[in-house]
Structure 1
Amino acid sequence: MVNSRFDVELNNIQKKFGSNIVVDNFNLQIEQGECVSFLGPSGCGKTTTLNMIAGFLEPDQGDLLIKGRRMNGVPSNKRELGMVFQTYSLFPHMTIFENVAYGLKLRKTAKAEIAERVKKVLDVVKLPQVGDRYPKQLSGGQRQRIAIARALVTEPSLLLLDEPLSNLDAKLREELRDELKRLQQEIGVTTIFVTHDQEEALYLSNRIVVLDHGKVEQIGTPWDIYNRPASEFVHTFIGKSNRLEVMVNELRGSEIALETAEGVRLEGNARGLSFHVGEPVSAYVRPEKIRLRTADERMSDRVGANEAQGKVKLTSFLGAHTECEVEVGRSDVIVRIPASQEQERFTPGQPVVLSWDSDDVFVFARKESKP
Structure 2
Amino acid sequence: MSKSYDVELINIQKRFGSNIVVDSFNLQIERGECISFLGPSGCGKTTTLNMIAGFLEPDQGDLLIKGKRMNGVPSNKRELGMVFQTYSLFPHMTVFENVAYGLKLRKVAKPEIRERVGKVLELVRLPHMADRYPKQLSGGQRQRIAIARALVTEPSLLLLDEPLSNLDAKLREELRDEMKRLQQEIGVTTIFVTHDQEEALYMSNRIVVLDHGKVEQIGTPWDIYNRPASEFVHTFIGKSNRIEGTVGQLSGHDLGLTTDGGLSLKAVQRGLPLTTGEKVSIYVRPEKISIHVNVEMAEKGNRVKGVVKLVSFLGAYTECEVDIGQTTMVVRVESIEHDAQLAPGAPVWLDWSPDDVFVFPRKESLA
- Please, what TM-score do these two structures have when normalized by structure 1? 0.96
- AA paired with 2:240? S
Note closer, same or farther for the CA distance 1:3–1:276 as it changes in structure 2 (3 Å cut): closer
2:347 pairs with 1:348? no
* Match of residue 135 from structure 2: 136
Q: Which runs of 5+ in 1 are unaligned?
A: none
* Match of residue 264 from structure 1: 263
| Distance in structure 1 (CA, Å) of the matches to 2:238 and 2:92 | 43
- AA paired with 2:140? G
* Match of residue 59 from structure 1: 58
1:168-192 deviations in Å (ceiling 9; x for gaps)? 0000000000000000000000000
CA contact (8 A) 1:26 1:216 kept: yes
TM-aligned CA deviation for residue 338 of structure 1: 1.2
Mapping of residues 81-92 of structure 1, within 5 Å: 81-92=80-91
1:262-312 deviations in Å (ceiling 9; x for gaps)? 222211122111111111100100000000001xx2228x99951100111
| Distance in structure 2 (CA, Å) of the matches to 1:304 and 1:137 | 58
CA contact (8 A) 1:265 1:305 kept: no
| Distance in structure 1 (CA, Å) of the matches to 2:109 and 2:145 | 21
* Match of residue 78 from structure 1: 77
1:317-356 deviations in Å (ceiling 9; x for gaps)? 1001000011111201100011268766411111110000
SS of equivalent residue, structure 2 residue 364: coil
* Match of residue 116 from structure 1: 115
Note closer, same or farther for the CA distance 1:287–1:341 as it changes in structure 2 (3 Å cut): farther
CA contact (8 A) 1:81 1:156 kept: yes
| Distance in structure 2 (CA, Å) of the matches to 1:269 and 1:250 | 11
TM-aligned CA deviation for residue 316 of structure 1: 0.7
Give runs of ≥4 in structure 1 deviating > 2 Å: 2-5, 302-305, 339-345
- AA paired with 1:333? M
TM-aligned CA deviation for residue 3 of structure 1: 9.5
* Match of residue 366 from structure 1: 362
| Distance in structure 1 (CA, Å) of the matches to 2:23 and 2:300 | 45
CA contact (8 A) 2:313 2:335 kept: no
Identity of matched residues, %:
75
Q: Compute the RMSD of aligned alpha carbons.
A: 1.7
Note closer, same or farther for the CA distance 1:304–1:318 as it changes in structure 2 (3 Å cut): closer
| Distance in structure 2 (CA, Å) of the matches to 1:140 and 1:167 | 8
2:325 pairs with 1:329? yes
Q: Which runs of 5+ in 2 are unaligned?
A: none
SS of equivalent residue, structure 1 residue 275: coil
* Match of residue 296 from structure 2: 299
| Distance in structure 2 (CA, Å) of the matches to 1:40 and 1:262 | 33
* Match of residue 240 from structure 2: 241
* Match of residue 5 from structure 1: 4
TM-aligned CA deviation for residue 253 of structure 1: 1.6
SS of equivalent residue, structure 1 residue 308: strand
SS of equivalent residue, structure 1 residue 186: helix
1:67-88 deviations in Å (ceiling 9; x for gaps)? 0000000000000000000000
TM-aligned CA deviation for residue 259 of structure 1: 1.2
- AA paired with 2:332? R
Q: How many aligned residue pairs are there?
A: 367
* Match of residue 307 from structure 2: 311
CA contact (8 A) 1:323 1:335 kept: yes
Note closer, same or farther for the CA distance 1:305–1:33 as it changes in structure 2 (3 Å cut): closer
